[in-house]
Chain A
Amino acid sequence: MKILVCISNVPDTTTKIKFLNNNTTFDSAGVQWIINPWDELALTRAIELKEAHAGAVSEITVVNVGLPTTEPTIRKALAIGADKAIRVNLDPKDAYTVALQLSEIIKKDSFDIILCGIESSDYNGTSVGGMLSELLDFPSVSAVSFIDIEGDQLKLKREIDGGQEIIGISTPFIGIVQKGIAKDARIPNMRGIMMAKTKPLQVVEPVSADLYTDFVSFDYPKAKASCKKVDPDNVKELVNLLHNEAKVI
């Protein structure tokens, strides 16, 4: 069984977001790039599956659509425990572009389990996994919070309103995973970091693709309003502020 984990290269979640050129360019100066946290958890679970089912899982590959600047992030995935990596040499402009490039990679190989984070922490599009499923005509399950191998099948769990749904599914399939799929992202150990240098990282040129979206500009969220404190005994003042100033009642 071969597992493919799709990883995005995203700014560290504590990054202060700034834009340049009239809000049309993300200012990447000084930004630390990381594996998208959902993808990192997916990779961690893939490694756990390989460790727990050594005979069943033969190989873990990570794939990223990005320019050479994403390679440190890919190397980290290799240090954590992926066996090999593929980088599609393209600066992705939207979710469809990413999904299309990934689908071409998957068509060329025979992956049994394809894992994507439910969203990326930069654009939060929550689109790639679903699009990939459509492009490949593979079954997919979204919001997966547990995955294990049971014989020829996979056992999945997903959070639903008021409980959990338990699903059995055959391979190949696309698992769109959310937090909970692994407890914590795995920290690479010294041996992994050393071995990451020599693991294969294949660079693939992209296929041509139409763009279906037209990026205009970024915008900042509205600044948070300052906090007003009202004396607990002064309910009249609280109602007055909510009614006349905040206009919420």
Chain B
Amino acid sequence: MNFEYSEEQKMIQQAAKDFAERELLHDVIERDEKAIFPTEGIKKLVELGFLGMMTDPKWGGGGMDTISYVLAMEEISKVDSSVAVVMSVCNSLVIWGLETYGNDAQKEKYLRPLATGQKIGAFLLSEPEAGSDATSQRTTAEDKGDHYLINGTKNWITNANSASTYIVIAQTYPDKKHKGINAIIVDKNTPGITLGPHEKKMGMRSSDTHSVMFNDVKVPKENRIGEDGFGFTFAMKTLDGGRIGIASQALGIASGAFERAVKYSKERKAFGTEISNHQAIAFKLADMAVKIENGRNLCLKAAWLKDQHLPYGLASAMAKQYCADMAMEVTTEAVQVHGGYGYVAEYHVERLMREAKLTQIYEGTSEVQKIVISRTILKD
């Protein structure tokens, strides 16, 4: 067993850190407050190749491993999770799904522009009545011979406005339940697609979240990913990888808040000494450090399993559940360490605390992760 990162992994970690501190930090508070999409940050993210960083170079990607992806996600999330979530959705859900299950024609047409960052993707699974229960898809993709006709509404769609390429999960054969679901590639500019207003969120406010309405949207049959009825399996497999991304995001939110808490505790004085010298604060920091280390190890374990082509669904669910809940705890404590300053925007930790909350909810709530974990460990 080797806990040391390779030179390439260290270089990617440093590149992500430099990118976040140089390109995102200076306006992250303003973008969060005014809910402004990070257009310039994403442009730079694309230039650096982070959007398709794990994709095979033959499709225009960076060819990096999942460990590198975890390290990069952590560094970017320390500063700005609204940018990190664009990276996670593109890499883990849209690009990985297309690369793993798409055919060569789909890869040439859709994967290459996504992997090179010319286009952004979105993954449309959640619905008003189907979030964690992904089997209850109400959106339909009616088989019309040479095309599908899509009708329905998708909710909470990250990148809904900025994306050009959607992967839509929809029901083709309702009587077959989850075995009748398909995953279909849809160009956002297809007639019949409309977007709801920008969602006013508690955190990650500069990420671009909308509902998306489909009204008789005609999509060629060749845009279906995999065999007829493969959509539910596609969504579940894709979400297994997606959890590594969101777990790493939660880890970054926690470690970003922790680093700020440590720095502040060494500067702020109370009762004649720096507050880090008070056991009440020092022990909080110790607890935070242990939790972050645990979370990082879970993320890296899941990433390592994926890189070794070993089953990683359980590990990624564990990483996602633990890191999301841990991020909520750690950011809350980071605010506490900062006292009143922690409650105002300037010190960043209140924003990180709001961002942490979302990691417990999206791409499978913490409760859903526990379903995945418990079903897996009780299976035999």
Contact = CB atoms under 8 A, between A and B. Distances in A.
A114 interface: no
A193 B47 contact: no
Contact of B8 (A184, A187, A197): A197
Interface stretch (A72-80, A85-93, A139-147, A156-164): A72-80
Contact of B18 (A75, A187, A193): A187
A194 B48 contact: no
B12 interface: yes
A193 B19 contact: no
Interface in A32-79: 72, 75-76, 79
B22 A190 contact: no
A11 interface: no
A75 B49 contact: no
A196 B7 CA distance: 11
Interface residues of A, number: 14
B234 interface: no
B22 A75 contact: no
B281 interface: no
Contact of B11 (A79, A184, A191): A79
B49 A184 contact: no
A72 B13 CA distance: 14
A197 B18 CA distance: 21
A193 B22 contact: no
Contacts of B48: 187, 189-190
A188 B15 contact: yes
Contacts of A197: 8
Contact of B49 (A72, A76, A191, A196): A191
A13 to B, nearest CB: 13
Give the dominant DSSP class at B's interface. Answer: helix
Contacts of B47: 189
Contacts of A190: 12, 48-50, 53, 61-64
Interface in B1-48: 7-8, 10-12, 15, 18-19, 22, 47-48
Interface string A182-225: 00100111110110110000000000000000000000000000
A187 B11 contact: no
Contacts of A191: 49, 57, 62
Contacts of B62: 189-191, 193-194
Contacts of B22: 184, 187
A187 to B, nearest CB: 5
B234 to A, nearest CB: 26
Contacts of B12: 190, 193
Interface string A101-135: 00000000000000000000000000000000000
Interface residues of B, number: 19
B11 A194 contact: no
A75 B7 CA distance: 9
Nearest to B64: A190
Contacts of B11: 72, 75-76, 79, 188, 193, 196
A187 B19 contact: yes
Contacts of B50: 190
A167 B244 CA distance: 55
Count chain A CB atoms within 10 A of each CB in B11, B53, B64 and give the residue with the most.
Answer: B11
Contacts of B57: 191, 194
B8 A194 contact: yes
A57 to B, nearest CB: 21
A184 B57 CA distance: 28
B10 A72 contact: yes
Nearest to B57: A194
B64 A194 contact: yes
Nearest to B7: A72
B15 A187 contact: yes
Count chain B CB atoms within 10 A of each CB in A76, A79, A189, A197 and give the residue with the most.
Answer: A189
Nearest to B44: A187
B141 to A, nearest CB: 35
B154 to A, nearest CB: 30
A194 B11 CA distance: 10
Nearest to B52: A190
Nearest to A34: B14
Contacts of B64: 190, 193-194
Contacts of B10: 72
A183 to B, nearest CB: 11
Contacts of A196: 8, 11
Interface in B49-69: 49-50, 53, 57, 61-64
A184 B8 CA distance: 22
Interface string A153-185: 000000000000000000000000000000010
Given A72-B10, A190-B62, A193-B64, 12 more contacts: A72-B7, A76-B11, A187-B48, A188-B15, A189-B49, A189-B62, A190-B50, A190-B64, A191-B49, A193-B8, A193-B12, A194-B63
14 contacts: A72-B10, A187-B48, A188-B15, A189-B15, A189-B47, A189-B62, A190-B12, A190-B48, A190-B50, A190-B62, A193-B62, A193-B64, A194-B8, A194-B62
Q: What 6 pairs between A and B have smallest CB-CB spacing?
A: A190-B62, A190-B49, A189-B48, A189-B49, A187-B18, A190-B53
